[in-house]
Amino acid sequence: MAEQYIVGVAGVIAFLLGFVFLVRSWGLSKVKRAASMEFPKENCVNKNGNGEGEGEAVGTTEIIIVGAGVAGAALAYSLGKDECRVQLIERDLNALNRIAGEFLMPGGYLKLIELGLGDCVDEIDAQPILGYTLNKDGKEALVSFPLEKFQSHVVGKTFHNGRFVQRLRKKAASLHNVSLEQGTVTSLLEENGIVKGVHYKDKSGQLLTAYAPLTIVCDGCFSNLRRSLCHSKVDIPSYFVGFILTNCKLPKEKYGVFILADPSPILFYPISSTEIRCLVDVPSQNLPSVSNGEMAHYLKTLVAPKVLPELYNSFISAIEKKDNIRIMPNKIMAGAPHLTPGAFLIGDAFNMRHAITGGGMTVALSDVVILRDLLRPLHDLSDASAICKYLESFYTLRKPMSSTINTLANVLHKVFSAPSDPAMENLQQTLLGYLKLGGVFSSGVSALLSGLCPRPLSLAFHFIVMAIYGVGQLLLPFPSPKRLLDGAKLLWVASSVLLPIIHSEGVRQMFFPLTVPAYYRTPPKGKKI
């Protein structure tokens, strides 16, 4: 009865907040409709205004893209379809062998379809994912993606990252106006504060120079070009220790597994019809060595006892398999750009969040859609300063998706990775209880996490209602002084985790984008010859 009362109070608050959000969304939709009338979907053309590529400008490059990963290859394909002449330079065109970029959320899959790249998850043994189970101390909460309103093929997708990226590259290179080249970009070519192109070494090591009115850098989390284009403060709170399990199945078909354990959160999800990826989150300060066997000992003694019984034997076998353990740093970097005429930065080179929720590719593909739509109406790329000022709107337009997924990922990692803290333990129990309520509570959080509801205000709404629920649970059955203190601590810890992350994302851009002048930027009028 008491729990129903708490949920009822939370529901009333939810209704009031929802009304405010609805009014705000109505106003925002009006602005978006007006903006769509001002941004016709015209093809990107060369600096002489010739969309067919005839005349003196034939063969010239309009846009250089550095990096042919998920963001770079997808962007090259989408711009190439709009008849832009693109030079795509990638350091290594061989298939990647990574333990990152294996989980594409449903929201990211919708962006992939919007870009005309939905078939890139075909023929790579990609696995459909409908959600995940959240496990803690023998308790389980089922979190399903809210897919009822979508066609049956819209689900999450998991796969080998290298196979997916190779399909994207093949699609980009299939366009006649996209040139895909293997080379290492060493520096940006800058004249009088304007980027004119890049210096790079080709496969043979020969130093070359490529020129273009606009250079887009998306060379990933290890970018060597970001320093001149953004505030590159990178934090590494933990590492993922990854390996592949075989000869086993997950407890629930088409659902990943997330285990909240001490000392490390553990994730399981399929990456093919015969392979399951395991990722163990290990704090940076406690990372054991792989080479001397410390990592294997750590996994066997501290992590394995927390693994589900049906996965235990395969877990141990995977650890003992030679060269099966891989390590990846989990990097966090807020998107803080230096506006640089002639150059633009996107993808993990620009903005990273903790990989615990698998939202990176969804953010990257969303960024590609936004940047493509901004570039479509341009007729002239020669005025670098005007283009730079116009593209500043990208940083506000991307916030709904990026800040929602970034905030969730970074907050959840902090909460999940500190089980020894009583207040964090209370937060974990609150989250589990909140998800078990089902209905709008569970589906709302899942929609945010999956990229299907990229709305920062909805994120704030769920955090507020969850906090009310958590405090109410701590005060039951009677608000004694100790329970009041525990409730205050929960609110304090939750705020200390959430507010700094929101601050780094930008309060104004997240919650009040209509007050940002760049939101209303219109395309500069190009010269037609």
Nearest residue to 89 (alpha-carbon basis) of 174, 186, 194, 160:
186
CB 130 within 8 A of CB 254: yes
> pLDDT-based confidence at 521, cuts 50/70/90?
confident
pLDDT, residue 48, reads 36
pTM over 0.95: no
- Structure token digits, residue 483: 């329970």
Which among 428, 421, 407 is positioned nearest to 470, based on CA atoms?
Answer: 428
**Hey, is 299 helix, strand or coil?**
helix
Quick one: 23 exposed, middle or buried, by C-beta within 10 A (0-12, 13-18, 19+)? exposed
> Cβ(81)–Cβ(175) under 8 Å?
yes
| Tens of pLDDT, residues 332-345 | 999 999 999 999 99
Residue pLDDT, tens place only, 230-240: 988 999 999 99
Query: Integer distance in angstroms from the first to the last C-alpha of the chain?
Result: 75
Closest C-alpha among 68, 71, 69, 115 to residue 87: 68
What number is the average pLDDT over the span 485-495?
Answer: 91
Report the alpha-carbon distance of residue 448 to residue 146 in Å, rounded.
Answer: 10
pLDDT value, residue 40:
38
Model pLDDT for residues 172-226, shown as the tens digit of each residue: 999 999 999 999 999 999 999 999 999 999 999 999 999 999 999 999 999 999 9
Q: Which of 33-37, 439-443, 502-506 has the lowest mean pLDDT?
A: 33-37
Give percent of the chain above pLDDT 90.
73
Q: pLDDT, tens digit, for every residue of 107-153?
A: 999 999 999 999 999 999 999 999 999 998 888 889 999 999 999 99
- Give pLDDT, residue 259: 94
Residue 3 has pLDDT above 70, yes or no: no
Give which of 200, 196, 206 is closest to 185, Cα–Cα: 200
Cα 484 from chain centre: 37
Give percent of the chain with pLDDT exceeding 70: 88
pLDDT of residue 419: 63
